[in-house]
Structure 1
Amino acid sequence: MFWGDVDEQLAKLPAFLADTDPKLPVIRAIGEAFADVVAEFGPGKVPWVLTQYNIIGSLAELQASALSRFTAQADTLRFFAADRLKVSAEDALPRVISYTCIAAVIAAAQAWAGAGSDRGPLAPYVLRALAPLADGFENSK
């Protein structure tokens, strides 16, 4: 129940990644895909888990359920990054890219949720959070 909207949108991530321009650098592609994933979240639609987590009851339970979701998404990003970079998914670089991107998206979602009713859509927050990563990782290969 707490994750319903989030899970529904995250299920679309593989398709959005597959639809990105193959010439686009990996982090920029991930940014575009995540912007599509979160496109429906805005001031009128905020995932319940982002704003009501303090009344859920068991913070440890919520964190455990979040971690499993983040890990699954990181695996999706890891395989995408490895394929895009033509390296093994077991190499460090795709792992670093995937977990760093997940951290940036989480930070963006938290900042967006905390911005209150003037928050606007989530996608620009995500793109801003991923932009510095793109600048750094794009130069690492």
Structure 2
Amino acid sequence: MTAPTIDLALDTDFEWCAQLMSTNDPWLTLGRDFETCLVRCRGPEFVVLLARNGEQRAGFLLLHPTGVAGSPYIAAIAVSAAARGQGVGSALLAAAERWFPAARHIFLCVSSFNTRAKKLYELRGYVQVGELPDYVIAGASEFIMHKRLERP
């Protein structure tokens, strides 16, 4: 299996990204519709990284350069159903971790019901540093996760 290629998403990719978000969890459970997701994907404050397997879009990641205390914040990551389990999520996380070479820390939030994603983040070295109970929806928490980036 070859690693996906990852680069900046183009304007023509944003609708695909929003469709992927709005039709999959955690965004379904969190009540995010296509229009809401599209606004996020087109937000000028975000870097949108797109993963491709050959010519096929495989996933994307929304990255805010200074989202938490001046450190990069991964606002969303999604992998298409056809590409899950093929290392696309890990490749997107690795790209985000390298994107701002001067950054020493990176953060993300993961919903308490999104156990598969939380496990991936932990395997990649992210540690839960906080919890926001009932933050987006009642009965679910958002776990704040952090990774200290090793820099030469």
TM bucket (normalised to shorter chain) is: under 0.3
Instruction: State TM-score, norm by structure 2.
Output: 0.26
Which of the pair has the greater relative contact order for Cα pairs under 8 Å at 6+ separation?
1
Which structure's residues are more often strand, by fraction?
2
Which structure's residues are more often helix, by fraction?
1
Instruction: State TM-score, norm by structure 1.
Output: 0.28
